[in-house]
């Protein structure tokens, strides 16, 4: 499994990746849209976001997102309705 | 500007190819890809479409002359957005560099879709547009040619690496049955 840009996030990442890979093959590809891995993703993502800030990558991302936003551009909509797997 | 296009056919069904894509790294053919992180992921419950945003960290040596033009270290970051439609059996990935974007832009689009005539196969198309920024001026040709060569090398090892991942996937899937 690949490692994270934040070395201390790799363990959280791999737990999430294992969950996601299982979900992808056993549920997603079979048309099941229920999500399984939200909590694991939240923990992993929080860790990555703080690494991105430390390395200044968050600013590069913001610039890129201005040109090509991640599909749900409304921050509130994203946090409220986000279904992550 | 320089353009790149390549097509390939994988002798595996789309479901397997799309699942294996998430486990493409690390692989021995692509040591230049150091880290892959998921930043956002969203599943549309109505359409079943899965959209993912990832950050890819690349560490790759570059020739001294290119280093002088770019004034950079060898670590670069790439942003990728992928869209998977499991009903249409298409996976589209678009990526662009986050670092050096004032000096050089490398935009890539990859599509994996089920072969229209043979469901046991998956068609792959890879395209890229490489453009040096205006700041680079007199060196733009040198930079674009180097970038195109590097892109082709990485595309070749990427395909070779992914083929090995697919072979492993099949072995693991058979073992489960």
Q: Is 80 exceeded by the pLDDT of residue B56?
A: yes
Whether residue A73 contacts residue B90, with contact meaning beta carbons closer than 8 Å, is answered with no
Contacts for A62-70 with beta carbons within 8 Å, 24 or more apart? A63/B98, A63/B101, A64/B79, A64/B96, A64/B98, A64/B101, A68/B81, A68/B94, A68/B96, A70/B39, A70/B40, A70/B42, A70/B51, A70/B53, A70/B81
Backbone torsions φ then ψ of B104, nearest 5 degrees: -155, 135
Higher pLDDT, B137 or B117: B117
Interface mutation target, options B17, B41, B53, chain A, most CBs of A under 10 Å: B41
Which band of pLDDT confidence, cut at 50, 70 and 90, is reported for residue B30?
very high
Judge whether A67 lies within some domain. Answer: yes
**What does DSSP assign to residue B45?**
T
| Rounded average pLDDT over B162-170 | 93
Judge whether A63 lies within some domain. Answer: yes
Measured between CA atoms, how close is B89 to chain A, in angstroms? 9
Q: Is 80 exceeded by the pLDDT of residue A83?
A: no
Helix (H) / strand (E) element for B37: namely strand B33-43
Judge whether A1 lies within some domain. Answer: no
pTM of the model: 0.90
pLDDT digits (tens, 9 = 90+) for B72-87: 778 999 999 999 999 9
Residues in B touching A52 (Cβ below 8 Å): 55
**What does DSSP assign to residue A21?**
H
Which band of pLDDT confidence, cut at 50, 70 and 90, is reported for residue B89?
very high
Count: domains in chain A: 1
Q: Is 90 exceeded by the pLDDT of residue B96?
A: yes
Interchain CB contact of A27 with B (< 8 Å): no
Q: Is 60 exceeded by the pLDDT of residue A61?
A: yes
Q: Which of B23, B25, B37 sits opposite A48 (nearest CB)?
A: B37
Judge whether A68 lies within some domain. Answer: yes
Which band of pLDDT confidence, cut at 50, 70 and 90, is reported for residue A82?
very low
Q: Is 80 exceeded by the pLDDT of residue B4?
A: yes
Quote the percentage of chain B above a pLDDT of 70. 99
| Rounded average pLDDT over B93-109 | 94
pLDDT digits (tens, 9 = 90+) for B139-150: 899 999 999 999
Judge whether A32 lies within some domain. Answer: yes
Quick one: pLDDT at residue B137?
81
Quote the percentage of chain B above a pLDDT of 90. 79
Q: Which residues pair with B132 in a beta bridge?
A: B104
**Residue A54's domain spans which residues?**
7-79
Quick one: pLDDT at residue A74?
37
Judge whether A53 lies within some domain. Answer: yes
Judge whether A34 lies within some domain. Answer: yes
- State ipTM: 0.91
Which band of pLDDT confidence, cut at 50, 70 and 90, is reported for residue A77?
very low
Higher pLDDT, B63 or B151: B151
Quick one: pLDDT at residue B63?
87
Are A24 and B15 in contact (CB < 8 Å)?
A: no
What is chain A's mean pLDDT, rounded? 86
Where do we find the tokens 């072995």?
A: B171
pLDDT digits (tens, 9 = 90+) for A19-48: 999 999 999 999 998 888 999 999 999 999
Judge whether A27 lies within some domain. Answer: yes
What is chain B's mean pLDDT, rounded? 93
Interchain CB contact of A79 with B (< 8 Å): no
Whether residue B78 contacts residue B95, with contact meaning beta carbons closer than 8 Å, is answered with yes
């Amino acid at each position: 499994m690949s490692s994270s840009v934040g070395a201390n996030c790799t363990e959280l990442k791999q737990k999430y990746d294992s969950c996601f890979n299982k979900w992808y093959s056993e549920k997603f590809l079979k048309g099941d849209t229920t999500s399984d891995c939200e909590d694991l993703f939240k923990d992993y993502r929080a860790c990555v976001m703080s690494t991105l800030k430390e390395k200044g990558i968050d600013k590069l991302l913001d610039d890129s997102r201005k040109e090509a936003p991640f599909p749900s551009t409304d921050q509130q909509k994203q946090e409220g309705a986000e279904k992550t797997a | 500007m320089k353009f790149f296009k390549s097509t390939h056919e994988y002798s595996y069904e789309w479901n397997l190819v799309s699942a294996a894509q998430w486990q493409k790294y690390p692989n021995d053919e692509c040591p230049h890809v150091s880290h892959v992180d998921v930043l956002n992921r969203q599943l549309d419950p109505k359409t079943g479409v899965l959209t993912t945003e990832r950050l890819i960290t690349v560490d790759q040596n570059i020739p001294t002359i290119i280093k002088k033009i770019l004034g950079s270290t060898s670590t670069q970051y790439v942003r990728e957005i992928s869209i998977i439609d499991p009903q249409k059996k298409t996976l589209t990935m678009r990526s662009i560099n986050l670092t050096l974007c004032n000096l050089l832009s490398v935009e890539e689009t990859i599509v994996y879709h089920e072969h229209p005539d043979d469901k046991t196969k998956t068609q792959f198309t890879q395209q890229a547009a490489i453009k040096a920024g205006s700041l680079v001026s007199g060196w733009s040709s040198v930079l674009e040619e180097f970038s195109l060569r590097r892109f082709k090398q990485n595309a070749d090892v990427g395909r070779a690496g992914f083929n090995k991942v697919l072979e492993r996937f099949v072995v693991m899937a058979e073992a489960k049955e």
